[in-house]
């Protein structure tokens, strides 16, 4: 049997609780995937406090040279500037050129077992926008002044646009909504909007002809997301808007603890739950592992291991639908371990 080398980076907080659960779920797939080989790797705030670096070079090298894919948990980034610290997840996305953050958000109806009104995918540009983190503060005669660079390039907008069109084209509704704020930011968001709009004209074979393209300003997109989430299918957005929209969409399906993602590039894929390190519940044994298990499924699907991915998704959906074994974020009383056991039993 071929092997599948998976870098495991739980990082901080509940990442250390939910990534082991995802690992156990992958292991339970048996011969539906190549023999998994897990390689534990360090990153995060705790790594920084111990070693002075948040993203060790060894982690990057092992991911690049030895791994087929990876699973990342969550980091605890401080809200105040700490000299020498920089978010390792933001850095990893850039180092490995994981330019697309793909975040499916859908509700599983508890009654009928059908997907109900929320069934969308946020396609978030993952390398630029304000996340280039070029910030400066200066002292002026009127007090401090802080500035940040917001980078939007044609190259990055085009490649995220292509991914978004591909995803939309593969779905039944084939709707793509471009999210921007080009009424105010006409140069930066204007470039994003225009570049994504041009994607179909660049494909000679007319393969995106069936995709309906819409656009929505980011603020009213959040409004409409809460009032009529069913209108959205695929949403493509610059980095920061995509981040905010996907947390908002997570609220509509019950919990951040359900929403998975992959960070994908041309040569590598890393599964990652959308949520952070959840300091309010860390150590209580009640973090929801389902977002991480679904992230493992997305990662496997991206690599072409459809059968393994389907099995994970079906098991997770069953556990959600049955609603007898859920963590407190979904109004249940179960622990991380009990939810994992329920998933494993349905695999
Ligand atoms: P968060 O996502 O950690 O938590 C938001 C809320 O959702 C909390 O109430 C938390 O308990 C709940 N929640 C999140 N995941 C859950 C799960 N699996 N099961 C049950 N409940 C869950 O966001 P935050 O509180 O704004 O940030 C906390 C820390 O996480 C910060 O240091 C932030 O920088 C970091 N963060 C990291 C990432 C990442 O690793 N990519 C993403 C977001 C935030
Ligand atoms: K995360
Ligand atoms: Mn986020």
Protein residues near ligand 3, an ion, with CB under 5 A: 243
Last residue of a domain, one of 238, 258, 278: 258
> Would you state the pLDDT for residue 113?
46
Which single residue is written with the structure tokens 């990893």?
92
**Boundary residue ending a domain (243, 258, 273):** 258
231, 276: one domain: no
Output the residue whose Cα is nearest ligand 1's atom 40. 74
Domain of residue 213, residue span:
100-258
* Beta strands at 69-74 and 3-11: parallel, antiparallel or unpaired: parallel
Whether the CB-CB separation of 54 and 85 falls below 8 Å is answered with yes
In a shared domain, residues 205 and 297: no
Judgement on whether residues 239 and 175 belong to the same structural domain of the protein: yes
Shared domain for 14 and 152, answered yes or no, is no
ipTM reported for the complex surpasses 0.85? yes
On whether the CB atoms of residues 248 and 225 are closer than 8 A, the answer is yes
Q: Give the number of other Cβ atoms within 10 Å of residue 130's Cβ.
A: 15
Compute the Cα dihedral for 200, 201, 207, 212 and give only its sign. Answer: positive
Q: Cα of 261 to ligand 3 centre, how many Å?
A: 11
Domain boundary among 228, 258, 288: 258
Are 190 and 140 found together in one domain?
yes
Based on the domain organization, do 142 and 207 belong to the same domain? yes
Ligand 1 in reach of 277 Cβ (< 6 A): yes
Taking only the tens of pLDDT, the chain with its 347 residues reads 789 999 999 999 999 999 999 999 999 999 999 999 999 999 999 999 999 999 999 999 999 999 999 999 999 999 999 999 999 999 999 999 999 999 999 998 655 444 458 999 999 999 999 999 999 999 999 999 999 999 999 999 999 999 999 999 999 999 999 999 999 999 999 999 999 999 999 988 899 999 999 999 999 999 999 999 999 999 999 999 999 999 999 999 999 999 999 999 999 999 999 999 999 999 999 999 999 999 999 999 999 999 999 999 999 999 999 999 999 999 999 999 999 999 999 99
Atom of ligand 1 nearest to the CA of 281: 11
CATH number at residue 63: 3.40.718.10
What is the whole-number distance in angstroms between the Cα of residue 92 and the centre of ligand 1? 19
Q: What is the pTM of this model?
A: 0.97
Q: How many domains does the chain have?
A: 2
In angstroms, what is the span from residue 202 Cα to ligand 2's centroid? 34
- Cα gap 170→157, rounded to integer Å: 20
Q: CA-CA distance, 6 to 8, in Å (whole number)?
A: 6
């Amino acid at each position: 049997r071929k092997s599948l080398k998976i870098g495991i980076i739980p990082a901080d907080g509940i990442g250390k609780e939910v990534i082991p659960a995802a690992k156990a779920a992958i292991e339970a797939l048996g011969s539906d995937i190549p023999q998994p080989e897990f390689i534990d790797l360090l990153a995060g705030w705790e790594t920084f406090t111990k070693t002075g670096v948040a993203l060790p070079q060894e982690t990057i090298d092992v991911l690049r040279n030895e791994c087929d894919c990876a699973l990342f948990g969550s980091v605890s980034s401080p809200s105040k500037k700490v000299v020498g610290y920089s978010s390792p997840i933001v850095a990893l996305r850039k180092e490995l050129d994981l330019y697309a953050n793909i975040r499916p958000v859908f509700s599983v109806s508890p009654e009928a077992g059908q997907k109900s009104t929320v069934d969308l995918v946020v396609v978030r540009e993952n390398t630029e926008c304000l996340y280039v983190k070029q910030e400066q503060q200066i002292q002026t005669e009127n007090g401090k002044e802080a500035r940040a660079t917001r980078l939007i390039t044609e190259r990055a907008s085009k490649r995220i646009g292509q991914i978004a069109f591909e995803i939309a084209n593969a779905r039944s509704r084939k709707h793509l909504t471009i999210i921007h704020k080009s009424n105010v930011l006409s140069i930066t968001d204007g470039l994003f909007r225009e570049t994504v709009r041009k994607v179909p004209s660049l494909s000679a074979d007319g393969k995106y002809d069936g995709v309906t393209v819409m656009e929505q300003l980011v603020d009213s997109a959040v409004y409409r997301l809460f009032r009529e989430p069913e209108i959205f299918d695929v949403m493509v957005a610059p980095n920061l808007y995509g981040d905010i929209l996907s947390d908002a969409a997570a609220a509509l399906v019950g919990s951040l603890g359900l929403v998975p993602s992959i960070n994908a590039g041309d040569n590598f894929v890393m599964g990652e739950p959308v949520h952070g390190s959840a300091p309010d519940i860390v150590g209580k044994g009640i973090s929801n592992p389902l977002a991480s298990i679904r992230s493992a499924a997305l990662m496997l699907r991206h690599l072409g291991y459809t059968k393994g991915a389907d099995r994970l998704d079906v098991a997770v959906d069953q556990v959600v639908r049955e609603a007898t074994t859920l963590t407190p974020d979904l109004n249940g009383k179960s622990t991380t371990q009990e939810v994992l056991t329920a998933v494993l039993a349905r695999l």
